[in-house]
Structures are given as structure tokens and as C-alpha cells.
Structure 1
């Protein structure tokens, strides 16, 4: 078996005594700084559970288009639901995938409770009537993934020699959670191979569960490398908020998904964790030797980063889902025109 292109970390080492714990924290800091991506094993979510989630994804995407469109994201000002092929935009180009997005199950705020545009992100998920088991299964899976990211975020605080509770203020009560099931169809000949265009994730941390089909690629100093699936492992990557909090010591890395060849499909489940929408990202006071290595967060003039989490999340959603923006946020689009 060839050596993986990305570092592999075993979460069990975090709880296996002082020596292995310190080795894990060192490897975590190095992987997040040098690459921004790593594989995570030993996370406690068994292979059968993972396969069940991917099987549920296949069942959903196999529904008739009419049933999927009954829960299309364009119905939801909260950016939840089904997006058909080419329905999401990355760097101005449509992505060749279909997906189903959920977040925390919440109550939408009434007009008198709305004081900022990002508060419209709060609300309920949409669920397909044909799959009544989907709600309970996916919400429980999302909770499990959230627990892993909270554990990792606390480990990052320790690895950066911070108070382990430094992020508690903006994740207590439940971090912002966003999960999607994704299907990438194969593309023939000269068709677009953009499953998802090159981008960085906007939150703190992302967990990706892949089926056996490769396609996820990470930009490194040596060029694009493939994050080949490792059975049972999640691919973890650093989001822009963690880069922002560490003043660029940790790296949010460009990545993309290349469509499989014709006749092949790829399924995955991606989970994105950020701070609570009503919070602000802390700027960590790194010890001097680490602060000296911080490069500052990378800045894209066309996509500025905000320490205010809700504002940052809404900005990204409006850019990616123009149909939702036009239907439910026309006031903001007119104001920014």
C-alpha cells in the first residue's frame, strides 16, 4: 500500500496517556500548519454506520426529480434542502454535483426578532416525505460529527498552547453546523470536470466521509495531490475561521473535487463546523515562538473575511446559491448592487 499523500492522525492517541497525547498534539499542529489537511482515524464512528449514511444518500438521490424538488433549497431562506446539478456556484462556475443540505433543526425568527440579515439563517430543515427515516438518522449523524469537531477544536487550543476553553465562548450552546450529502456523476469526454471548483471552507473545521471513489484534491507546494479514500477515515481540513483566529499560523488550504469518469459516481458526506452565528472569532494570543511563524490570514479582495461569524457565513451562502439569494435576499442584493 502506497503512503497516503496527507498525514494520518489517530484520535485515540489524544486519550492514551501523556506521551501519546503530546505526540498527537504536535502532529496535529504540524499537519494543520504545513498542509491544512489530514486523515483522521480512531474517531469511534464505525464503518457500518458510515456505509449506512452513504447508502441513505444514494437512496435519496435516486428519488424521482419531482420529489427531490419538493425540498429544493430555493424554497428555504435558511439555505437547507436539495440543490440540483449546476445549482451551486464556485468561483463563478457551476459545480457538477447534486446535494442535500441540512443544519441544526431550529425555529425561524419572526420579523420582530430579526435585527441583522444573517439571523435569517436560523430555521428548520426540509425533509423528503418519501424517506421519513432521513430526519432522525441525519440529525443524529450530524450530532456525532459535531462532537468530533468540538474535540478537535479543543485539541487545537492545547496544541497552540491556549486555554483549552478558549473557543468555548463561541461554541457553547452548539456551534454552527452544516452537513451535506453529495453525489458526483461521471463526466464524459470534454465535459466539465468541476465537481467542485477550487475553494477554501469558511468555518473552523470540515470532516469529509468519502466512498471508495477518489476525486478530492488538495493544493500543496508540490501541486495538486489526491486525498485518496482510506476506509473508515475522515478527511479533515482547516477552515478560514481557524486560520483567522490563529493569525495565519494554521492554514486553510485550497481544495477541489474532480468529477469521476463517465459511468462512475462518487458519493460523500461533508460536515462543516463553525462558531455560533451570533459570536465573533477570537484572535488567539499565541506564544512568541509560534506567533513569529504566523503568516497572517490570506486575504482575497473579492471575498473578504469577517470576524463576525454570522456575517461571514451569510456572505458565503449568498455567493454560492444565487437562486436562494434572488428569492429570499433580494433586498440585500439590491443594496450591494
Structure 2
């Protein structure tokens, strides 16, 4: 449980002396470039809040099906709420997990002829009447993780020899936020690794993963899949597609997956995704020559085109991942997005 397989970076070093900060930035640049991620400690999020989030998550998933399905995602055109086991898709295959998706608590945007399709993604969350404590716990955690990612992005900017506020200016006051409370039920897989979540990249700038007690997360490397076990006091940080685009592939988003726990067990996890505002376009940063010379360009995958327009990139991901929501609320978009 405690043997790290990625570098561990202490975020407190970002606010340390010049030498300490320089070592941190060098380690961040190397880890993000080599692995597409790392563990982070010194993040400042109180362990009591993390424990509370896992406790309320456990209580939610223990509710009767009727109470969970009262906030089922298929009822939300904004892709918010509960998803049953097997109802989310990664590259067309069913993911063996149940989850609650919680975005920024913002009002739905007016719709009309010519309104960009991505505007449909903004809207209110769904909250369970049977568990009122879920809302304050989840929104507090979302706010604190947003602040952590903001600090990390300032480090990313400095590591790339950009102004420290580069991503602050890009994200403004309305970044794209998504918190997922996740449970992976165990099942027999006849000795094969079952798909908890299939191989994929995250669509935002950076992702934080808070693992509970059981492992299952894996990152793809040149030598195969690398297990990323839980390390107490740390979050796992993943580079997302928008950061890959912004750096012209100097950093590339890591491909990762989650394997299904064995029968008789389960696994809890919290994932937090932060991206630029839905209506923004991610610029290509003007890297200094010695870094630009090592930029490989974004990965070209015909099955997963990457868009600099944040709303389009996010919409593509959501339509593919949740075909039931797409069919009920966004059938007019399916052909254009090859879903």
C-alpha cells in the first residue's frame, strides 16, 4: 500500500527558498514529462475532510437503488448525477464502477438557434434527498481541490519558464470543475484483469486522484502497465489533454486505467478534474527554445481527436462516455461527434 511507483513531490517546496523551489520545479518537469504524472504531498487538504468524503461516499453507495437512481445522470442534460455499474463507457466498453458526478454549481445557460453545443454542459448538480450531507462535503472538497490544482498549475507554469499566473489568467473565475465519487465493485474475472475503467486520457489540464485503501490504478509506460498504489497523505496527479495541447506535446497526458477488484471486495476513489472555462480556447504556450525543441506535438489518435476549444473537447468526452445521456438529451449532436 505504501511503496510509491511514481515520484513524490512536496507542494510546500513551491513556496520555499530559491534552491528548494528550483529542485521542485525540476522534479515536476521531469515527472510530468517522463510519466505524465506523480504523487503530491504537502497539499494542505485536511485529512478529516478526505475521511468525511470517503465516509459520505460509502453511505451514498450503500443507499437503496431507488434513492441512488433518484439522481441518475440520464435525467440531467448537463451530465451530473449517479451512474450505475456498467453504464459509463471507455472506448466503447463498459466500465465496472458506479459513481456520482458533481460539477461546478452554476445555472444552466439559455439555449437557442446558433447557441454553441458545449453550453449544454453547464447546469446544476443533482443531490440526493436521502443523504443531505453529501452536498456540503462534496462542494467543500471540490473547492479545496480546485485550490490545490491552482497551486500545481502555477508550478507547471514556472517549470515551463512561463509567467507564474499563466494558467490563473486562462482559468479566470470559472474553470471547468468535476468531482467524481467512485465505487468499484469486485467481481470474478477468471484470472484476467477486468475493466474498472478502460485505458484513457483525461480531458482537462490536471487531475487529482485520491485513493482509499485498495490499489487498482495503473499508468501505461513503455514497459507496460505500472501499478500506482495508494500512498497515505498523497494525491496522484495526472496530466490532461488540455495541458498536452498547451505545451505542444512537451507534456503528454498519461494513459491510465483501473482494474476491477476481486470478488468479495470493492474499491473507493475520488477523482477531481480541472480544466479551463468551457468557452475558452487553450493557447499553445511560447516555450523557450530549449524546451520547445523537445516538444513532440500532441499525440495523433484518429479515434480520439483533441480540440483546443475546451467546450468541444469536454463535450466529445461526455457524449462518448455516457451514451444514455447523449441519446436522451443530445441526439442531434451524435453524428457530428462520431458517437
Q: Displacement of 1:47 after TM fit?
A: 2.2
Deviations 1:89-126 (Å, cap 9, x if unpaired)?
00110000000001000111222497101001110000
Deviations 1:30-62 (Å, cap 9, x if unpaired)?
000010110010101122221111111100000
TM-score (norm 1): 0.97
Map 1:272-311 onto structure 2 (within 5 A).
272-311=273-312
Q: Displacement of 1:132 after TM fit?
A: 1.0
**Matched residue, 2:69:** 69
Alpha-carbon distance between aligned partners in 1 of 2:49 and 2:247, rounded to the nearest angstrom: 34
Alpha-carbon distance between aligned partners in 2 of 1:56 and 1:242, rounded to the nearest angstrom: 32
Report the 3-state secondary structure (helix = DSSP H, G, I; strand = E; otherwise coil) of the residue aligned with 1:169: helix
Q: Displacement of 1:253 after TM fit?
A: 1.0
Q: Displacement of 1:222 after TM fit?
A: 2.1
Q: Displacement of 1:232 after TM fit?
A: 1.5
Alpha-carbon distance between aligned partners in 1 of 2:42 and 2:194, rounded to the nearest angstrom: 33
Deviations 1:260-288 (Å, cap 9, x if unpaired)?
11111100000000000010101011111
**Matched residue, 2:111:** 111
Alpha-carbon distance between aligned partners in 2 of 1:291 and 1:336, rounded to the nearest angstrom: 32
- Find out whether 1:55 has 2:55 as its counterpart: yes
Q: Displacement of 1:2 after TM fit?
A: 7.4
Instruction: Tell me, yes or no, if the aligned pair for 1:82 and 1:98 is still in contact at 8 Å.
Output: yes
**Matched residue, 2:30:** 30
Alpha-carbon distance between aligned partners in 2 of 1:189 and 1:88, rounded to the nearest angstrom: 19
**Matched residue, 1:121:** 121
Map 1:197-276 onto structure 2 (within 5 A).
197-276=198-277
Instruction: Tell me, yes or no, if the aligned pair for 1:8 and 1:41 is still in contact at 8 Å.
Output: yes
The alignment of Structure 1 onto Structure 2 pairs a total of residues equal to 337
Q: Displacement of 1:336 after TM fit?
A: 5.5
Instruction: Tell me, yes or no, if the aligned pair for 1:50 and 1:232 is still in contact at 8 Å.
Output: no
Runs of 4+ in 1 over 4 A off after TM superposition: 334-337
Instruction: In structure 2, list runs of 5 or more residues that go unmatched.
Output: none
RMSD over aligned Cα atoms: 1.5
Distance verdict in 2 for CA 1:226–1:168, change over 3 Å: same
- Find out whether 1:15 has 2:15 as its counterpart: yes
Report the 3-state secondary structure (helix = DSSP H, G, I; strand = E; otherwise coil) of the residue aligned with 1:167: helix
Alpha-carbon distance between aligned partners in 1 of 2:317 and 2:2, rounded to the nearest angstrom: 37
Deviations 1:263-319 (Å, cap 9, x if unpaired)?
111000000000000101010111111111111110211211110000110011000
Distance verdict in 2 for CA 1:171–1:265, change over 3 Å: same
**Matched residue, 2:101:** 101
